[in-house]
Amino acid sequence: MFRDIDRVLIDRERIASRVHDMAADLADDLVRDMGPAGPDGEPGQVVFIPILTGAIVFVADLIRHLPFKLRLELVAISSYPGRSMTSRGAAMRSALPDNLGGRHVVIVDDILDSGRTLALITSLVREQSPASVRTCVLLDKKVRRAEAITPDYAGFEIPDEFVVGYGLDYDGYYRNHPDIAVLRPDAISPKGAGGGA
Ligand code: IMP
Ligand code: MG
């Protein structure tokens, strides 16, 4: 099983505990923003936008800690096309919902790397005049930043290593690995395999 995994960088227990704490911070901030009526006051006030495909595992765990009404709107963005392991620039692969005006929007991604993905989606969301926009990433590879973007919530800062698991893929695989891990060098194609959205 998972013979291609070299070592675990962040194990499932640490992930679970950090996701729990991040959800608590997020809930505090959203509830404060929403005032006395709270997020349940008006349906659809809070909208979570996970970026497919990498964010699916993280967002599934995150939202189950949040005890109020929210909606999910999925958006697909690709930045690591084909088998590349470095960002080639972000491109929208699906339409953004057009009803974000006045909403409290939380954009969720698995990892912040060059920052192109979050820069793109954040600017498109802002065009709709939401009440607030927050960005929430599980991993932050700070050293690789090309865009001036700082996440509002970040789970772990990691070094410049290509990681898989907990939603993150290489060539479409390993998203189901429960820990964040590094692949064995011989599992990576010399031409630079890997990477989905
Ligand atoms: P950015 O646009 O360069 O910030 O890239 C963010 C996207 O690239 C994330 O949504 C991931 O899908 C992908 N990505 C960045 N680093 C890694 C990694 O180490 N493993 C797997 N996917 C990654
Ligand atoms: Mg992604």
Residue 113 bears catalytic tag: yes
As a whole number, mean pLDDT of residues 62-68 equals 96
* Ligand 1 within 6 A of CB of 54: yes
Which of 8-17, 26-35, 48-57, 134-143 comes out lowest in average pLDDT? 26-35
- CA of 184 relative to ligand 1 center, distance in Å: 18
Contacts of 40 (CB under 8 A, 6+ apart): 68, 69
Confidence check: pLDDT of 49 > 60: yes
Residue appearing with tokens 């690995």:
177
Q: How many helices (H) and strands (E) does the chain have?
A: 3, 10
* Ligand 1 within 6 A of CB of 87: yes
| Tokens at 134, concatenated | 């927050």
Rg (CA), the chain: 17
Q: Which fold has domain 13-34+44-79+86-158?
A: Rossmann fold (3.40.50)
- CA of 197 relative to ligand 1 center, distance in Å: 7
Per-residue model confidence (pLDDT) at position 193 = 47
Q: Is residue 108 very low, low, confident or very high in pLDDT (cuts 50, 70, 90)?
A: very high
List the catalytic residue out of 61, 109, 110, 113: 113
- CA of 44 relative to ligand 1 center, distance in Å: 29
> In three state form, how does the secondary structure of 65-111 look?
CCCCCCEECCEEEECCCCCCCCCCCCEECCCCCCCCCCCEEEEEEEE
Please provide residue 186's backbone torsions phi and psi, each rounded to the nearest 5 degrees.
-75, -5
Task: Give the position, in ligand 1's atom list, of the atom nearest the Cα of 144.
Answer: 3
CA distances to 12, 86, 160, 177, 180 from 145, rounded to whole Å, are 26, 12, 11, 26, 20
> Whose atoms come closest to the Cα of 195: which ligand?
1
Q: Is residue 42 very low, low, confident or very high in pLDDT (cuts 50, 70, 90)?
A: low
Task: Give the position, in ligand 1's atom list, of the atom nearest the Cα of 168.
Answer: 21
- The best mutation among 111, 166, 177 to test binding of ligand 1, ranked by most ligand atoms within 8 Å of the C-beta, falls on 111
Per-residue model confidence (pLDDT) at position 59 = 98
Q: Is the peptide bond before 53 cis (omega within 30 degrees of 0)?
A: yes
As a whole number, mean pLDDT of residues 67-89 equals 83
C-alpha angle 55-59-63 in degrees, rounded to nearest 5: 170
Q: Is residue 86 very low, low, confident or very high in pLDDT (cuts 50, 70, 90)?
A: confident
> Whose atoms come closest to the Cα of 139: which ligand?
1
- CA of 21 relative to ligand 2 center, distance in Å: 22
Inter-residue contact 11 to 52 (CB < 8 Å): no
Confidence check: pLDDT of 63 > 90: yes
> Whose atoms come closest to the Cα of 166: which ligand?
1
For the chain, give every domain's residue range.
13-34+44-79+86-158
